[in-house]
Amino acid sequence: MKTNTIAVIGGTGKSGKYLVRQLLEKGYSIKLLLRNPENFKSKNSLIEIMKGDARNYQSVHALLKDCSCVISTLGQPVGEDPIFSDATGNILKAMTFHGLKRYIVTTGLNVNTPFDKKKYKGETGNRLDVSKLSENNERQADRI
């Protein structure tokens, strides 16, 4: 059965929250895959929450049932092994099973700029000095 329900993976991060808000404002029904649904505070009749993890095929398979497409804003959990390959493999396998053809992915990139207000601190406990990186990146960009 084809519907206009959109499966969203990674809907609780910075870009994910924005995506969810925009989809709801446009009236889309969404299914969210959440590792910790108890932390998700939004209440809306257009949201169906599913507890699970994108690294688990059964979670993704259940999420995609009766959806028309998948949007992922999945981010890398701090301190965990890389998840993107496992998650993407599960998503593509479940999409094939359910006959879905549209997969939209956005992801963040940790880019250091002088304007960033990063929470990350280096191993020494000091904030990272990105000024040298920025100068080096500008020199590299000038060569392109």
d(CA 97, CA 100): 8
The amino acid occupying position 50 is M
Same domain? For 83 and 27 the reply is yes
Percent helix, strand, coil in the chain (nearest 5)? 35, 15, 45
64, 9 contact by CB (below 8 A):
no
Per-residue pLDDT, 26? 93
**Nearest 10 degrees: CA dihedral of 61, 67, 71, 76?**
-20
Overall number of domains in the chain? 2
pLDDT in tens, 35-50: 889 888 888 999 999 9
DSSP-derived secondary structure letter, 121: B
pLDDT at residue 121 above 80? no
Name the nearest CA neighbour of 75 among 32, 51, 42, 107. Answer: 107
d(CA 40, CA 32): 10
**Lookup: tokens for 9:** 């993976």
Q: Across the strands, what pairs with 121? A: 127
pLDDT in tens, 74-101: 887 777 777 888 999 999 999 999 999 9
54, 87 contact by CB (below 8 A):
yes
Note down the domain range covering 40.
5-105
Q: 57: which residues sit within 8 A by CB, 6+ positions away?
A: 90, 93, 94
Same domain? For 45 and 62 the reply is yes
Same domain? For 93 and 119 the reply is no
pLDDT in tens, 3-36: 589 999 988 888 889 999 999 999 999 999 998 8
The CATH number covering residue 11 comes to: 3.40.50.720
Mean pLDDT, all residues of the chain: 80
Q: Across the strands, what pairs with 51? A: 34
Same domain? For 39 and 90 the reply is yes
Same domain? For 75 and 138 the reply is no
Same domain? For 123 and 59 the reply is no
Q: Output the pTM of the full model.
A: 0.72
Same domain? For 39 and 55 the reply is yes
